[in-house]
């Protein structure tokens, strides 16, 4: 026997809000199938179970005449609505998902790679809605999407498209995840960093870099490793010691000038967390937990993840989701927070006369619109304040801030096999830069820097220099005159 009722009828029957009824249905608490006339079809046993739970007399009975009303007869000629299988569909169960999509297509209009291989975020939403999990998991669309979130900005219904993409990625067999991404995650789990750099090699390298910095411009400097009680724990991107070790010293120079008390851990020093890209929440949690352990072991008060936007986003996300108590124990800085703190507290002095070219800032998706949406704050103004403090001649890209275009390499795309799609996505960014007339592009993300510097400049013939925000700050520093005994390392 089937009980047929509208959401409003059920809400009034059980004395709850209609959204509660929808939640019950979506979560499987009340198994129901969509029927004609916006009614839900509920098996009598399920309806009775709910009535028992809430101490209510059922309005219908399998024994006609025994109690109350008889269920509405179901018209078998009316085509049945698609069964959502909410309990079985791993994508549909998320809040704010496909059940409220209007199919307006705004997301597709905003997505820079919509149309590539028929990719279209609206289609992805509809497929999730129709329970086409297998097709989505097998599809390469979620891996060609950079999870930039531009589609979400324009969605009038706040559908969480990026979250859905990550869920789909997370459902794929791990041996079918793009090799470089999965290898990075596994290597990080097994060896402590994405590239598997041995501990002795890493320590020897950063010590030597510290000696060179001391000889160059920071007398008395020595790389602080495992300094207990240092205020700030600083993570490292394995790409830096592997490919461009001197880039580490830009931050070190700033710390030296600011008189910062900081340290690097000799173990699990990687801040990059590619599990965010592969949708592997378990690995993501493990990698972040190691950072927390380092902070506790070294008794630090704050954390800086200087690598890139996704390292900050993944770590902050994991802290808020799995380790919220940690956020009471230490502060997590973005590169913007810390640099602005130094400037505002006059711990560093910048000389803008060193930079005369026209400069622009590229907002990374993770520090910008995704942080705004997830954590309530996007780092837009801070980035411009710092860039302008170094470069008086400044121009914004159009559009920028929350509406900014992704560089094309987000979501692990830099390491994925879909190079042509990555470059195609980046055409929007290249056009923005070219139109702005800027001669220098500043960014706060390693991923964005690599895509701009290595790929887009060449592919789109861009005549610009690309640099990190902290590189710009380090090169604009007025270095204090310190003597050896004054240097504060930890």
Q: Between 101 and 462, whose beta carbon lies closer to ligand SF4?
A: 101
Encoded one letter per residue, x for contact with ligand SF4 by CB under 6 A and - for no contact, window 390-429 reads: ----------------------------------------
306-325 residues in contact with ligand SF4 (CB under 6 A) are none
Q: Which stretch binds ligand SF4 (CB under 6 A): 3-11, 147-155, 252-260, 327-335?
A: 147-155
The rounded distance, in Å, linking the Cα atoms of 373 and 334 is 16
Sequential DSSP letters for 384-421: HHHHHHH-SSB---SS-GGGPPP-S-TTTGGGSS-HHH
Nearest approach in angstroms of CB 117 to ligand SF4 is: 12
Q: At closest approach, how far in Å is the CB of 427 from ligand SF4?
A: 13
437 in contact with ligand SF4 (CB under 6 A) = no
Other Cβ atoms within 10 Å of 328 Cβ, number: 7
Helices (H), 172-274: 179-191, 199-216, 239-243, 248-258
Among 39, 123, 150, 253, binds ligand SF4 (CB under 6 A): 150
| Encoded tokens for 100 | 């409220």
Q: Looking at 5-13, 150-158, 383-391, 468-476, which segment touches ligand SF4 (CB under 6 A)? A: 150-158
Q: Are 17 and 10 in contact (CB under 8 A)?
A: no
Closest CB to ligand SF4 among 125 and 206? Answer: 125
Look at residue 478 and give its three-state secondary structure.
coil
Q: What is the CA radius of gyration of the chain?
A: 27
Q: At its nearest, how many Å lie between ligand SF4 and the CB of residue 106?
A: 4
Contact 401, 180 (CB under 8 A): no
Binding-residue total with ligand SF4 (CB under 6 A): 26
CA distance 97 to 107: 13
If DSSP codes are grouped into helix, strand and coil, which group holds residue 342?
A: helix
Stretch that binds ligand SF4, among 42-50, 141-149, 255-263, 264-272 (CB under 6 A): 141-149
What residues numbered 77-136 form the site for ligand SF4, per CB under 6 A? 101-107, 110-111, 113, 121-122, 125
Q: Which is nearer to ligand SF4, 147 or 473 (CB)?
A: 147
Out of 162, 209, 257, 284, which residue is the one contacting ligand SF4 (CB under 6 A)? 162
Instruction: Please report whether residue 168 would count as binding ligand SF4 according to CB under 6 A.
Output: no
Report how far residue 442's alpha carbon sits from residue 69's, in angstroms, rounded to the nearest whole number. Answer: 70
Q: How far is the CB of 48 from ligand SF4 (least distance, A)?
A: 36
In whole angstroms, how close is the CB of 112 to ligand SF4 at the nearest point? Answer: 6
Q: Give 163 or 237: the residue with its C-beta nearer to ligand SF4.
A: 163
Structure tokens at 479: 């270095």
Report the candidate in 159, 214, 231, 143 with the shortest Cα–Cα distance to residue 413: 143
Q: Which is nearer to ligand SF4, 84 or 110 (CB)?
A: 110
- Triad 150, 157, 280: Cα angle to 5°: 55
Say how many C-beta atoms besides its own lie within 10 A of residue 368's C-beta: 26
Smallest separation, CB 412 to ligand SF4 (Å): 12
When the beta carbons of 374 and 393 are compared against ligand SF4, the nearer one is 374
Query: C-beta of 151: minimal distance to ligand SF4 in Å?
Result: 3
Cβ 142 to ligand SF4 shortest distance, Å? 8
Token reading at 428: 């929007």
Q: How far is the CB of 136 from ligand SF4 (least distance, A)?
A: 13
Minimum gap (Å) between residue 311 Cβ and ligand SF4 = 19
In the bound state with ligand SF4, the residue whose beta carbon lies nearer, of 48 and 122, is 122
8 A C-beta contact, residue 325 and residue 292 = no
- Contact, 75 vs 81, CB < 8 A? no
Residue 268 in tokens = 């699990």
Cα distances (Å, whole numbers) of residue 6 to 3, 37, 81, 129, 148: 10, 8, 14, 20, 38
Shortest reach from residue 127's CB to ligand SF4, in Å: 12
* Peptide bond before residue 421 is cis, with ω within 30 degrees of 0: no
Closest by alpha carbon to 358, among 312, 324, 322, 396?
396
- Contact region with ligand SF4 (CB under 6 A), list: 153-161, 279-287, 290-298, 322-330: 153-161
Q: Give me the residues that bind ligand SF4 (CB under 6 A), please.
A: 101-107, 110-111, 113, 121-122, 125, 145-151, 155-157, 159, 161-162
């Amino acid at each position: 026997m089937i009980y047929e009722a509208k959401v409003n009828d059920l809400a009034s029957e059980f004395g709850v809000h209609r959204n509660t009824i929808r939640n019950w249905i979506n979560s499987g608490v009340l198994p129901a199938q969509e029927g004609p006339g916006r009614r839900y079809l509920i098996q009598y046993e399920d309806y009775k179970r709910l009535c028992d739970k809430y101490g209510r007399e059922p309005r219908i009975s399998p024994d006609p005449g025994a109690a109350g009303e008889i269920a509405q007869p179901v018209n078998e000629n009316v085509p049945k609505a698609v069964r959502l299988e909410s309990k079985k569909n791993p994508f549909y169960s998320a809040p704010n998902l496909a059940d409220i999509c209007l199919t307006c297509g705004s997301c597709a209009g905003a997505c820079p790679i919509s149309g590539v291989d028929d990719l279209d975020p609206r289609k992805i939403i509809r497929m999730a809605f129709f329970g086409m999990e297998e097709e989505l998991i097998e599809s390469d669309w979620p891996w060609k999407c950079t999870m930039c979130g531009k589609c979400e900005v324009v969605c009038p219904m706040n559908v969480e498209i990026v979250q859905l993409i990550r869920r789909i990625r997370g459902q794929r067999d791990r041996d079918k995840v793009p090799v470089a991404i999965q290898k990075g995650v596994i290597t990080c789990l097994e060896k402590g960093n994405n590239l598997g750099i041995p501990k002795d090699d890493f320590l020897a390298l950063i010590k030597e870099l510290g000696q060179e910095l001391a000889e160059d411009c920071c007398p008395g400097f020595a790389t602080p490793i495992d300094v207990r009680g240092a205020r700030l724990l600083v993570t490292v991107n394995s790409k830096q010691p592997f490919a461009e070790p001197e880039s580490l010293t830009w931050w070190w120079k700033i710390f030296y000038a600011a008189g910062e008390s900081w340290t690097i851990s000799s173990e699990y020093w990687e801040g990059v967390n590619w599990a965010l890209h592969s949708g592997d929440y378990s690995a993501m949690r493990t990698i972040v937990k190691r950072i927390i352990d380092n902070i506790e072991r070294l008794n630090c008060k704050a954390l800086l993840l200087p690598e890139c936007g996704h390292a900050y986003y993944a770590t902050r996300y994991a802290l808020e989701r799995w380790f919220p108590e940690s956020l009471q124990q230490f502060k997590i800085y973005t590169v913007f927070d810390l640099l602005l703190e130094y400037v505002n507290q006059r711990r560093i002095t910048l000389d803008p006369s060193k930079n005369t070219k026209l400069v622009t800032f590229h907002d990374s998706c993770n520090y910008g619109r995704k942080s705004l949406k997830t954590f309530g704050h996007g780092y837009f103004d801070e980035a411009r304040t710092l860039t302008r403090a170094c470069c008086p001649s400044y121009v914004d890209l159009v559009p920028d801030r929350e509406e900014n275009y992704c560089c094309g390499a987000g979501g692990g795309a830099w390491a994925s096999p879909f190079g042509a799609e990555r470059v195609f996505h980046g055409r929007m960014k290249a056009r923005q830069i070219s139109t702005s007339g800027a001669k220098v592009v500043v960014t706060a993300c390693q991923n964005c820097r690599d895509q701009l510097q290595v790929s887009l400049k060449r592919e789109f013939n861009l005549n610009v220099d690309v640099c990190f925000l902290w590189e710009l700050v380090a090169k604009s520093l007025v270095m204090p005159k310190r003597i050896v005994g004054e240097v504060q390392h930890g």
